[in-house]
Amino acid sequence: MTFCHRLFWVFCLVVLLAGMVSVPLAAQNPASPPAPAPTVSAAPVQAAPQQAYTLPPDKLARAIAISRIRNILNLAGSIWGIVFLWLLLAFGAWQGIERWTQRISSRRWLQGIVFFAAYLIIIAAVGLPLDWLGEHYERSYGISVQGWGSWLGDDAKSLGLTLLFGVPVLLLFNWIVRRWPRRYWLGIWMITLPILVFSLLILPLFVPLFYQQEPLQKNHAALVAKIDAVVARTGINIPPSRMYLMKASAKYTGINAFVAGLGPTKRYVMWDTATDQMPDDQVLFVFGHESGHYVLHHIPKELAGNAAGLFFVLWVCAAFAAWMVKRYGSKWGAPDLASRTGFVVLLFAISIANFLTEPAGSAFSRYFEHQADVYGQEAIHGIVADPEKTAVAAFNKLGESWLVDPNPNPLIVFWLYGHPSTQHRAEFAAHYDPWANGGHGEFFKQ
């Protein structure tokens, strides 16, 4: 699990949005095996055009294999999480935990703290074997170089943050269900919005718990000077003091970069694997891409889109959860949704909705990422010698570092990819030249 997955997962749990959050530019897009090879024909055939993103034969075979593993673990993890919640409901485990908390204390708020802490710990524990298996394969294929002690330490930190933020939020949501039993979903929706904004604001503050950071200009002053040229062109308010180098090479060989935060916490973070493996021109393209997310207001747009989607998801889940309590409540020990076990029924409904709506979220993210790709390529026009070749080379370097399959299954892309496939991104970059014949870009008119 990459840093961005691991850390943002904490906040996804906090706001009951336990979905895959897209990693910035260097997303480890899962990929499936390529289509079967065509049958051999005696008739002469034209050679297929060279793809923009390619891998050497040995790395291609490994990319196909690790992509298959990632896909299986990704889908299996989502399905297993839903099935596990259902099994514990069906066998009365949550009812038993609720009764146990009642024996511990007569104070309802203390019962709630213990119950929801147990809930979050159990959910984390049930996903640990698949997380471990995923890390095992990432290590086997040379993507992860993190020691097992450090990996377990990161999981412990994530769990600690989840408990710190998640338990109070779940207590609040459960109180809202008891306070407004008919319109509780609307109250949860309203309180979730500021929580989402707050999460985005404080997220960068927890990066040092997982990775060492230092100012980018400390050892890359020449690179920062070049980035300043892109900053001047984009007008983005990220001074050198908010540009950081993250020592990711202690844990991963893959390349990545991201922007994070809002207002006073807004910053640009480059992995040291990127500065070590990429020439400066490609780093400028990466920075241009990430700048696009801010300049094009992708964060508020994504918040607005998530808010709109969450409104309908909670409305549907409230009705579905009410039906389940009416139909199975007596067997599950959930007399109503206001009880602790009844509240788990609501979480169960939300987990199903999250899985079913994942393609919509992925499509939403892919659209923004494509816009950022276009913006990044336009932002370096006139600054680097050849924006098209620079972008294509950057995508090849990113894909090779993470062993991304050049030929992903379209269904996997539809369901899981938060970014366009690396092949699609490289192909687009190779042919994007709006400046030919005196034209101009979509976002930059000069």
Task: Give the model confidence (pLDDT) of 277-291 as tens digits.
Answer: 999 999 999 999 999
Q: How many residues does the chain have?
A: 446
Interval 376-390 mean pLDDT: 96
pLDDT: is 370 or 32 the higher one? 370
Interval 380-388 mean pLDDT: 95
Quote the pLDDT of residue 73: 96
| CA dist., res. 199 & res. 73, Å (int) | 27
Quote the pLDDT of residue 9: 39
Q: What is the mean pLDDT of the chain?
A: 88
Interval 111-128 mean pLDDT: 95
| CA dist., res. 128 & res. 126, Å (int) | 6
DSSP H helical ranges for 25-92:
57-90
Spell out the residues 6+ positions from residue 410 whose beta carbon is closer than 8 angstroms to its own.
none
The angle at the Cα of 221, spanning 218 to 223, to the nearest 5 degrees, equals 125
299-337 per-position pLDDT tens digit = 899 989 989 999 999 999 999 999 999 999 999 999 999
Q: Is the pLDDT of residue 211 over 60?
A: yes
Interval 215-239 mean pLDDT: 93
Interval 416-442 mean pLDDT: 93
Quote the pLDDT of residue 20: 28
430: tokens are: 């190779």
Say if residue 439 is exposed, middle or buried (CB neighbours under 10 Å; 0-12, 13-18, 19+): exposed
Quote the pLDDT of residue 446: 67
> For residue 49, what pLDDT band results from cuts at 50, 70 and 90?
low
146-182 per-position pLDDT tens digit = 999 999 999 999 999 999 999 999 999 999 999 999 9
Quote the pLDDT of residue 67: 96
36: tokens are: 């079967």
222: tokens are: 């020449």
| CA dist., res. 200 & res. 210, Å (int) | 17
**In the chain, % of residues over pLDDT 70:** 89
Q: Is the pLDDT of residue 357 over 70?
A: yes
Say if residue 85 is exposed, middle or buried (CB neighbours under 10 Å; 0-12, 13-18, 19+): buried
Rg of the chain over Cα atoms, rounded to whole angstroms, equals 23
Residue identified by tokens 């066998």 is 91
| CA dist., res. 217 & res. 211, Å (int) | 18
> For residue 25, what pLDDT band results from cuts at 50, 70 and 90?
very low
| Choice among 27-41, 134-148, 395-409, 414-428 with the minimum mean pLDDT | 27-41
The angle at the Cα of 197, spanning 193 to 202, to the nearest 5 degrees, equals 145
The residue extents of the domains of the chain are: 3-28+52-206+299-356, 213-298+362-438
pLDDT: is 26 or 202 the higher one? 202
Interval 225-230 mean pLDDT: 95
Quote the pLDDT of residue 324: 97
pTM for the whole structure: 0.87
| CA dist., res. 333 & res. 346, Å (int) | 14
Quote the pLDDT of residue 24: 35
Contact between 415 and 19 under an 8 Å Cβ cutoff? The reply is: no
176: β partners? none
Quote the pLDDT of residue 436: 87
Q: Given strand 213-215, what is the order of strands in its sheet?
A: 213-215, 243-246, 267-271, 257-260
DSSP symbols for 2-69:
-HHHHHHHHHHHHTT--SPPPPSTT------PPPPPPPP-SS--PPPPPPSS---HHHHHHHHHHHHH
Q: Which of helix, strand or coil describes residue 361?
A: helix
248-264 per-position pLDDT tens digit = 999 999 999 998 888 88
Q: Is the pLDDT of residue 439 over 80?
A: yes
| CA dist., res. 181 & res. 176, Å (int) | 8
